[in-house]
Amino acid sequence: MTSKIGTVKIPDTYSELYPGRFLKADLLRDKPRTLTISKVHVEVMPDDKTGGEKDRGIISFKETTRQLALNRTNGECLKAMFGKKVKEWSGKRVTLVPEQAKFGAEDVDAIRISGSPDFNRTVTIEIKMPKRKPVKRTLRNTSGGSSTIEEPAEQVPDSKQETETVTSTDEADLAEIALAAATTTDKQEE
């Protein structure tokens, strides 16, 4: 939170020095935050890897004006919890956590999805991406608070845990999600 002295803002985190429209990992204050999806749409964004542009899913939330630009990992987590029909994601709650992640050879602060109070099971998904090792994510019910969860959910023993493999070696699933989001946005604007 930003402290104010008169009309001068004193930032608590580095990200507050460069405010923008997107959520940043350090704004979560090292705690899980549960937010409600209000809108999903697709827009053309700069592509950090190629220097060009690409379509990216954008998630808006009821509790904040800041948005989340979807990466493959978070998109696959949302699909595993809420299904391929993006229009059905609105109104669902999602728990975001700050984590360290690899971006090329660098370790960077990232926002990841750990589950949802609206998700009533525990599932481990394996996300396979080209030229990288598969990434496993365990998604679970994160009931316990609407904006902050003090303690992470207990680890479920492997014998009781459902495992699902998500293969993301092509863009077909993302194209399907992007098309569904664009169709939903077009219908909402009519």
Note the pLDDT tens digit of each residue in 69-79. 999 999 999 99
Tens of pLDDT, residue by residue over 12-51, are 777 777 778 899 888 888 899 999 999 999 999 988 778 8
| CA 70 – CA 52 distance, rounded (Å) | 17
pTM recorded for the entire structure: 0.69
How many residues appear in the chain? 190
Is residue 40 a contact partner of residue 82, using CB atoms and an 8 Å limit?
A: no
C-alpha 31/C-alpha 34 separation (Å) is: 10
Strands annotated E in 62-184 = 68-69, 93-103, 106-116, 123-128, 135-141, 162-167
